[in-house]
Amino acid sequence: MEKGQITEKKKEDSFGAAERRVRESVERLQLSPAVYEFLKKPLHFAEASIPVKMDHGGVELFTGYRAQHNNVLGPFKGGIRFHPGVTAESVKALSLLMTLKCALVGVPFGGGKGGVTCNSLQLSPGEKERLSRGYIRAFSYLFGPEIDIPAPDLFTDGQVMAWMVDEYYNITRRYLPGMLTGKPVEVGGSVGRKEATSRGCVYVAREAAKLSGITLEGATVVIQGCGNVGGKAAQFFSELGCRVISVCDISGGLYCAEGLAVPDLLGHVQETGLIEGFAGGEKIAGEELLTMECDILVPAAMENQLTAANAPEIKARLVVEAANAPTTPEAEQILSERGIPLVPDILANSGGVTVSYFEWVQNNQGLYWDLETVNQRLEKMMVEAFHTVHRFNREKCPGGTMREAAYGYAVQRLAEAMRLRGWF
């Protein structure tokens, strides 16, 4: 596969299932039907054409989106992704997941999401900067530290956030670093933010492994993805004594039964951008690793990767969703019937929004924490959230999946906040 090419699997209805699960939670918990009406679609949605001057001298129009799903718990919060798979519907669905995620982990934000339909790997640095600034010009009226707080997502990073916060200053003449998170530390970012999603995922995986009888020392881990989330997850699992036996990215996959040399692999990826060309493992097709025998499988790439087609062949003892919606409803039913526990995305990958909250707090206070403090507070919130969901599963969703419990707990919190605020 050529560098600069992003493939996209055919969509299945895993995002649409989120709305159904919200409805089922409302019914199971006997909540007011108004709760479902408020949660089934965003409160606000915006779309804009973003003109970008390209290096060849011409101008191209890109389509950008911002969904503001629900702010009953606090300002809208959610990433901005630059990806060819960005659509109005996917952004709306992801904003719902963010609302649930924030409610679940206990941060005072509501859900939002944004994106631009583009292949960012084919953009030069200058074109990407102009697109980033153009996005803020198109949607700056929506943003602010007490209104809507964006963050990085697929194919956006701290540099993109730095361009965006600078453009926001150019427009408003106000330097408000808390208007978005995921910034470089040098311009108001928080230490520990870049790796927070991965670290939080590993904290949750550690707790789930204990309940599943998996000893982490020597446990085999397979990770789909080797970007910021997947790569850092590989590092943290390795530091816990696990053997990371397989990873993949858009260039293909690698396998080593004894465990990949994770530091060397990540150094190669940092230098080249891809795992392709790394000599420390056997080359395999990216799809192969999903059905590989292992203790822990971590989908950390795109949505709809575990499907009805491959779920019967999955041999992992535990699945931990680091990506958003990587498992279709049909696949999850198959895994449940086969007795394979799954930690859902709205719990497993909530470390990013948790440390985004920490960054926002630090920006607002003008007082910054050290890495040890950030990680201790992240671990505390992630472990508490995991065991809260586990208890809720036993007490309110007996026999149900952890996803049903996570949705139920989040919806119950949102319902109570809406009731108290007089929304219904």
- Which residue type sits at 241? G
Report the C-alpha gap between 51 and 130 in whole angstroms.
Answer: 9
Strand order in the sheet with 110-117: 44-53, 59-70, 110-117, 76-83, 148-152
- 382, 203 contact by CB (below 8 A): yes
113 is catalytic: yes
CA atoms within 13 A on the CB side of 401: 25
Which helix (H) or strand (E) covers residue 320, if one does?
strand 316-320
Residues with Cβ within 8 Å of 92's Cβ and at least 6 positions away in sequence, in order, are: 41, 42, 45, 67, 69, 113
Q: Among the options 101, 113, 128, 183, which is catalytic?
A: 113
25 Cα distance to chain centroid: 22
Question: Closest Cα to residue 33, out of 41, 43, 22, 44?
Answer: 22
Burial class (CB in 10 A: 0-12, 13-18, 19+), 287: middle
Report the C-alpha gap between 68 and 302 in whole angstroms.
Answer: 22
Distances (CA, A) of 368 to 78, 181, 186: 22, 14, 12
Q: Which residues are catalytic?
A: 113
